[in-house]
Homo-oligomer: A and B are copies of this chain.
């Protein structure tokens, strides 16, 4: 592997000049840059990130922390963040960790010491634990907000409110909301939005859960849903909706028909029936926004913007 010194020798300049020519060209004469560039790619020189990081006191790593990977919900968010990270020459390391336990907190503190910044996706656990991490390194929250921290949140509360209202308008008098996941920061806001929308439009709302975002939880929830007598159900996650739909049908309940279940567009479209509400979170936009915020926070520690990304609500059309 060619080093800076090799390039310098070949080009006839000092290491320092070569370093500047490559990293801060505005400080170096154009002609010099040209010669150095030529020498560099004649030797196939590539920057040693480790050395660079040591000298600059950075690690070139950003951590993306999720409470679980079982939930496909995080995948597009990670993808979006990943794409942006690559653009700013950062590596994104994905870690499963929880802030709910002392052990989890300790693990994250250790991690924080080894990265330049972190994105905490839907972190559960007490706010002081979140603050403890944020005190170590620039931190951005996803789907949670906290005093003095930058965050980006998918505004599912508004979307769920709109869905509940829309259902009421379409004649549903009894609506069930399946909330979760347990410990979620978003959940109370969603439930509140659902309640408010129901109240405003004169429908009755039952709130169930919290449920984890899993197919199995959807299965479990079926009994409660049937018991509630609701004609429409709004689960907060797709996996939940699928588990619910399949189980309902397995018990001979017409879905939609006797009970309507909202989901995301790909699912509602598949049902081939009009008038089903779909809630779609743009995960990759969420991830990108989070990474952008992290970039900002890394250069300016006073960055504390709170972003709320709109969430799409669609009603399936006649086929």
Chain A residues with CB under 8 Å of chain B are: 46, 48-51, 53-54, 59, 61, 69-72, 75-76, 78-79, 82-83, 86, 91-96, 113-114, 214-216, 218-219, 242-243, 245-247, 249-251, 266-267, 269-273
Contact = CB atoms under 8 A, between A and B. Distances in A.
Given A49-B59, A92-B94, 10 more contacts: A61-B93, A69-B79, A72-B75, A75-B75, A93-B93, A93-B94, A215-B267, A215-B270, A246-B270, A246-B271
Given A91-B61, A242-B242, A250 B267 contact: no
A271 B250 contact: yes
A109 to B, nearest CB: 10
24 contacts: A46-B113, A49-B114, A50-B50, A61-B61, A69-B75, A69-B76, A70-B72, A70-B75, A72-B75, A75-B75, A79-B96, A91-B91, A93-B93, A94-B94, A215-B267, A219-B269, A242-B242, A243-B270, A246-B267, A246-B270, A247-B270, A247-B271, A250-B271, A250-B272
Contact of A50 (B53, B214, B242): B53
